[in-house]
Structure 1
Amino acid sequence: MKALKLQKPFGLDNIKLTEIDDPGQPGPGEIRVRVKASSLNYHDYGVANGSSPTEDGRIPMADGAGVVEAVGEGVEEFEVGDKVVSTFFPHWETGPALVADFSSTPGDGIDGYAREVVVRPTRYFTHQPSNYTHAESATLTTAGLTAWRALVVNGGIKPGDSVLVLGSGGVSVFACVLAKSLGATVFATSSSDQKLQRYKELGADHVINYEDDPEWGKTVSKLTEGRGVDHVIEVGGPGTLPQSINAVALSGHIALIGVLTGMKGEVPTAKLMGKQARLQGLIVGSRAHQQDLVRAIDASGVKPVIDKCFGLDELADAFRYEEAGKHFGKICLEF
């Protein structure tokens, strides 16, 4: 069967399409899944280009969605024909966070979903939303679940809250759609007026071009009559955190999700303390969180935004498209 492998020296030019052995039939507690789609994340890009080192020959991609082809002895949760989507932390099933690294994450510490078939224990998957395509479902493993945990699990969002999303990547765009479905007011930033128009079409109430307005945090505060927003989806890290602190309300919540502007930087701690705001880091979520997300999607009909889809053998081109920063929402693979 076909699979992609990362080969040393790591880089987008060294993603190789190859033939690997079929994994065979599932054993007790396992399911065999025909993979139909994946979606790209900056974490996958870091693994592929070598900035997040992994083993030579690693099969990339953390996200995978497909169809159950066979079930092993004792499996009751899934049946042949079920549509399933992968979990980011297969060993974190429920409760508080149990992992602080990517040693068990598919596509990083273990082989991922850039292949046609996998055989895995049931904890590696949940059911897909009933009305989702495979590509739409594949956006949930990393981006969708991160937005869900930031706003719902950690943030406790409620109707009437306000949310600020930064940039136009998969997490931020899904957070916008999710927040609107939950009755929130949404503020969005981007350096592209075209992308800001896309945000308006999704229902964003206020949009700000951060290149035209480098003090966008203060602008958000003014737009809320000095109150600030209840939730910030912070994907930039040190380069954007000072403005996010300006934007957040007293006793508000900043979900620190990404570090796109760098790994280190100064934090205006006195201002954060004065705001009495909660700055909370998070990495995706548990299997139970994902099951809750799927139920919420089935109830609400919320849909992700997919910018473009590529074939399995076009992964390098897909990463280059991501690298260019022209996308709005998610980039997917379909195969």
Structure 2
Amino acid sequence: WDEVEALGGPAPSLIEGAIVPADEDTAVRPISGALAHAIDAIAQLEGGIRLDEYMRRYVCVMASSNIQPQAKAQRTVELLVNAFEYHFIYARHLELLCEIFDEYGQVPCSEFFGTYRVELVVSLYACVVDLHNFEIVMRRLTPFEAGCVICRLGWLHLYNPMKPEGAYQLDLGRREERIMVKTFAQLATAEPGDNLPSVTFRWERDMASMPGYELTEPWLTEEGLPKKGIWDVVYYAGEGKGEKGCKPMPKLRRSLLQLVFIEECDVQSEADKEAGVPPLLFGESFMMANQGIFLNYLAYNEEARKALLKKKGTGASTARDNKKKK
């Protein structure tokens, strides 16, 4: 009730006809205006739980019809972030928060940065301990919200090579998306079956797709992979039933985790993690056994290569100069 007074309303005992005693309990009768909604909301909640000052203020804000949806959404995001930012959570917890925060969460936050649910996901991303299950959060969002999350966090913070199934549109001119194209090309070549039911390529986003395009061997080399273009792909892995002759290669998929933000040691079920079962770690050894593919193709970095060559050249010229001086 102190918060009601803080919002400009009189104390409950001074509201004529609003409060009447009933067997030592407080009954609330309807009164007009936003103050009535706030009083009703607080009275209903305090029937079961005791609200602190912050929560009373939050209830008043959410119950008021005079406060804009953007303000309510912002206050909810602040409340949830304050509650969870210093805790570890699972992806399913964040997905549940997005589901609950549906009405005001889909209110646009700005023209380009998404909704308030996007703000919540971005703020709590670092708290999620099973990023390999983050796709359940992305499925809860609308396509617009999912696109905003991808743009703000980056593909390599969200892409899971252990679960590559799905449809993607990737720009070969962007390094992180170029890495994803390479992983799909490598997976499609190594894993058996009809795992590319749909794949198209076009030079510009507003151009028509190249007729008769197929993934060919030159695309498996850094020199043969185009420097630009839009690659649309649907990757299929047999739905765990071996459909269309598809069969995943766990070792290859785990080795590709070295290219993304997900740690291989985190790819473990909740039951095994809580039971203390050590995770399977063989992705790095597979990568070391296939260094040529990773260094010359999958993890190839042209800028780093030029910097290394320049450094070697500088070192060689310095050695020649020292030799001449001697």
Calculate the TM-score normalised by the size of structure 1. Answer: 0.29
Q: Which has the higher contact order (CA 8 A, sep 6+)?
A: 1
> Which structure's CA Rg is the greater one?
2
Calculate the TM-score normalised by the size of structure 2. Answer: 0.30
User: Higher strand share goes to which structure?
Assistant: 1
User: Higher helix share goes to which structure?
Assistant: 2
